């Protein structure tokens, strides 16, 4: 089975009512959400009683996903399933660092709420979006993006899947160019050009906020999206840089595998990261955690 990695999902997997069966049946999951609801008032309503349109707003999405992911990782710990190493995709990195002991769950909620606030502010300044490019390699995507002033390859997910951020009017032309070159694009369910220069101000504000916050070094290896390797002696600067910089996800997963990880458990409501990891390496074990059935499978196969 090898070492176990917890990988915490990012924006895009959110939906109203996510993990409801876990909330209704698992006392550990429910207790964590209720505790975080006292820190971030309205959290439970946002997760279970809002609209998809409201939950899709960055300022609501990020705290909601952080809370759900923190509750899932707590549930797994209670079961006896623990990670040897962690990583989080974009906002998931906050939950990963919380799991690794860099800050408490409650402090993590304050951190992710501020991150969401700053990124929402920058998102509202531009008519910008994100699109996933499929079937083309990194060199070709970079070549096409270089034709545009405001299109940036930002998430290097796996072979044949690179996400780009940019202004919507340029993204439309970019997508047409991608199609002409044999690729296809899928728009992401996020509003904003994350991990690009459009987030420069958010990154600066987040860095200033982190300077007022206690952030310890992780107690287990925790990978940085910005570095593509585990954090070193600096967490705050690297975490702030992440907002405006590409996510090196394929590099992270490949490095984990080369260092003995054989089992990946996606912490979150969906299966996006599970699908990406399977495209990077078909030999590793991959599990999701978004419902009771998925958790039962982990009990049967990981705890056996």
The residues assigned a catalytic role are 90, 195
Q: Nearest Cα to 167, choosing from 125, 136, 139, 221?
A: 125
Whole-Å CA distances, 35 to 24, 27, 106, 122, 263: 15, 12, 8, 29, 30
Distance of CA 279 to the CA centre of its chain: 18
Instruction: To the nearest 10°, report the CA torsion of 131, 127, 197, 153.
Output: 10
Token readout for 215 is: 């952030």
55: CB partners within 8 A, 6+ apart: 14, 15, 16, 46, 47, 61, 64
Cβ-based burial of 53 (10 A; exposed 0-12, middle 13-18, buried ≥19): exposed
Angle of helix 92-99 relative to helix 105-123, nearest 10 degrees, comes to 160
Rounded-to-integer distance, Cα 147 and Cα 144, Å: 6
| Contact criterion met (CB below 8 Å) for 114 and 209 | yes
| Helices and strands, number each (H, E), in the chain | 14, 8
């Amino acid at each position: 089975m090898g070492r176990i990695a917890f990988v915490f999902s990012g924006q895009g997997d959110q939906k109203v009512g996510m993990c409801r069966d876990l909330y209704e049946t698992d006392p550990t999951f429910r207790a964590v959400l209720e505790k975080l609801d006292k820190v971030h008032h309205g959290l439970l309503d946002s997760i279970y009683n809002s609209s998809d349109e409201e939950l899709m707003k960055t300022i609501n999405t990020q705290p909601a996903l952080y809370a759900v992911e923190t509750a899932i990782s707590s549930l797994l710990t209670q079961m006896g399933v623990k990670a040897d190493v962690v990583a989080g995709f974009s906002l998931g990195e906050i939950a990963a660092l919380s799991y690794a002991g860099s800050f408490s769950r409650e402090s993590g909620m304050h951190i992710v709420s501020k991150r969401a606030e700053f990124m929402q502010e920058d998102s509202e300044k531009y008519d910008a979006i994100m699109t996933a490019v499929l079937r083309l390699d990194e060199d070709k995507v970079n070549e096409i993006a270089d034709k545009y002033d405001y299109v940036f390859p930002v998430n290097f997910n796996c072979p044949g899947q690179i996400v780009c951020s940019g202004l919507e009017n340029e993204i439309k032309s970019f997508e047409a160019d991608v199609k002409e070159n044999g690729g296809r694009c899928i728009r992401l369910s996020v509003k904003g050009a994350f991990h690009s220069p459009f987030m420069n101000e958010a990154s600066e504000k987040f860095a200033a906020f982190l300077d007022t916050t206690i952030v310890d070094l992780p107690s287990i290896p925790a990978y940085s999206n910005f570095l593509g390797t585990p954090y070193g002696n600096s967490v705050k600067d690297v975490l702030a840089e992440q907002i405006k910089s590409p996510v090196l996800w394929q590099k992270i997963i490949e490095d984990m595998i080369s260092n003995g990880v054989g089992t990946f458990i996606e912490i979150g409501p969906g299966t996006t990261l599970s699908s990406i990891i399977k495209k990077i390496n078909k030999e590793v074990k991959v599990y999701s955690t978004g419902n009771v059935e998925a958790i039962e499978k982990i009990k049967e196969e990981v705890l056996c």
